[in-house]
């Protein structure tokens, strides 16, 4: 168990000590920051006995994982907050025990927010003149602002996703799901933390001063903004997904348009070739040496006329040869794969037991069911 203690007499700069003071001067307070694990329950029990904290709540601080909440034990308050880890996109729990002269923070992870606030307290005499309730409000403010900064970073990420959606990037769905999972992780933390701060700023307890309530109200405003920005980011993800589907549909339409033009050009040519390929001896030009030249010129004229019609209606807008070839190639590949896929699917259904079909259908319905 790692323990650090910060003490102030309310009149000067806070100083770090190695031992918990027996008596705190009037106007002063003590901040005890503890990093402990499940194996440190005995040491935490000793600390809870010295400060008369609820032993079950102290034990749960290292053995249980709870959402943000506020519990009033009369002599002290338990405020559970959550922060963002430094080296990975996960959150950790901080259990804050507030008394009239003490603030005890218990955590299992390294906290960059608490480290920054600790060094700030050591060098700021104005903060040391406040009470432990204001220190608690500052801890909540720092933790919530770190969460808010992540939500703000999502706005830049969503702009990148929009560009990928408009280009119908094949990796778009994978990136979208990764962002959606991260937003869900934040949402599970921000919503309860906002409610806990709302309860804390209005709680009827002598441990919270008027100045502390004002600071807690400011912290609640930060949490409220983070919650609203999070919902806006979730809505933006849905709109981005719709844009991606529209871009995919546009690409599919372009491929279908190219295939349609290709078929429209080739159909009359095939008709001419089929007409002169009939097995009749009296076809016009059959005995002429230049008959095939005349038929070829007619077919070329029909092809150029068809292309001219498509240019007139705006279906052909002089795309680059590489882009047109790529689109035509995708269309021909899909056209060639379609009969094979349909035949394979029909064969699979005809040879599949009915129970397997039912199980696949039920699993598909469960996959398409909305998330809780």
pLDDT in tens, 67-101: 888 888 888 899 999 888 877 778 888 999 998 88
How far is 178 from 183, CA to CA, in rounded Å? 9
The yes-or-no verdict on residue 15 having pLDDT over 50 is yes
Nearest Cα residue to 44 out of 108, 119, 113, 114 = 108
Q: 182-214 pLDDT, tens per residue? A: 888 888 888 888 899 898 888 888 888 888 889
Residues 6 or more apart in contact with residue 324 via CB below 8 angstroms? 258
Please check whether residue 133 is in contact with residue 102, taking contact to mean a CB–CB distance below 8 angstroms.
Answer: no
**Which H helix or E strand runs over 331?**
helix 321-351
Encoded tokens for 218: 């400011």
Encoded tokens for 80: 């559970």
Neighbours of 63 (CB within 10 A): 12
Q: Provide the whole-model pTM.
A: 0.64
Handedness of CA 107, 112, 114, 119 (dihedral sign): positive
How far is 66 from 259, CA to CA, in rounded Å? 59
Q: 215-229 pLDDT, tens per residue? A: 889 989 988 888 888
Beta pairing partners, 305: none
The yes-or-no verdict on residue 321 having pLDDT over 70 is no
The two beta strands, 69-72 and 29-35, are unpaired
Q: 116-127 pLDDT, tens per residue? A: 888 887 776 555
Q: How many Å separate Cα 288 from the centre of its chain?
A: 74
Q: In Å, what is the CA distance from 234 to each residue of 23, 93, 101, 122, 159? A: 50, 24, 42, 40, 13
The yes-or-no verdict on residue 357 having pLDDT over 50 is no
Beta pairing partners, 97: 78, 104
How far is 200 from 137, CA to CA, in rounded Å? 10
Calculate ∠ Cα 152-157-161, nearest 5°: 145
Most confident among 213-217, 243-247, 311-315 (mean pLDDT)? 213-217
Handedness of CA 305, 306, 311, 317 (dihedral sign): negative
How far is 18 from 186, CA to CA, in rounded Å? 36
Q: Which residues of 87-125 are buried (b: 16+ CB within 10 A; e: fewer)?
A: eeeebbbbbbbbbebbbbbbbbbebebbeebbeebeeee
């Amino acid at each position: 168990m790692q323990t650090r203690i910060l003490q102030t007499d309310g009149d000067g700069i806070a100083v770090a000590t190695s031992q918990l003071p027996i008596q705190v001067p009037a106007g002063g307070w003590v901040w005890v920051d503890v990093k402990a694990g499940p194996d440190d329950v005995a040491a935490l029990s000793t600390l809870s006995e010295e400060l008369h904290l609820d032993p079950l709540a102290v034990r749960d601080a290292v053995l249980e994982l709870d959402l943000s909440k506020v519990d009033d034990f009369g002599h002290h308050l338990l405020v559970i907050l959550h922060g963002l880890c430094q080296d990975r996109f996960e959150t950790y729990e901080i259990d804050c025990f507030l008394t009239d002269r003490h603030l005890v923070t218990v955590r299992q992870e390294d906290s960059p927010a608490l480290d920054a606030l600790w060094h700030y307290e050591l060098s700021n005499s104005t903060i040391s003149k406040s009470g432990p309730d204001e220190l608690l409000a500052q801890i909540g403010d720092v933790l919530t602002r770190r969460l808010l900064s992540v939500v703000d970073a999502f706005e830049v990420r969503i702009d990148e996703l929009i560009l990928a959606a408009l280009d119908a990037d094949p990796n778009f769905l994978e990136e979208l799901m990764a962002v959606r999972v991260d937003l869900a992780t934040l949402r599970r933390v921000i919503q309860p933390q906002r409610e806990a701060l709302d309860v804390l700023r209005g709680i009827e307890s002598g441990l919270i001063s008027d100045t502390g309530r004002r600071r807690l109200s400011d912290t609640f405003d930060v949490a409220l903004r983070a919650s609203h920005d999070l919902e806006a980011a979730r809505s933006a993800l849905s709109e981005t997904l719709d844009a991606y589907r529209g871009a995919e549909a546009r690409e599919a339409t372009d491929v279908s348009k190219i295939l349609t033009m290709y078929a429209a050009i080739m159909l009359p040519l095939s008709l001419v070739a089929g007409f002169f390929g009939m097995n009749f001896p009296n076809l016009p030009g059959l005995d002429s040496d230049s008959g095939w030249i005349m038929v070829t010129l007619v077919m070329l004229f029909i092809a150029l006329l068809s292309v001219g019609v498509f240019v007139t209606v705006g279906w052909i807008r002089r795309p680059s040869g590489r882009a047109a070839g790529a689109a035509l190639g995708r269309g021909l590949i899909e056209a060639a794969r379609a009969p094979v896929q349909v035949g394979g699917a029909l064969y699979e259904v005809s040879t599949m037991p009915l129970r397997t079909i039912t199980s696949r259908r039920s699993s598909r319905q469960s996959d398409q069911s909305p998330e809780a």
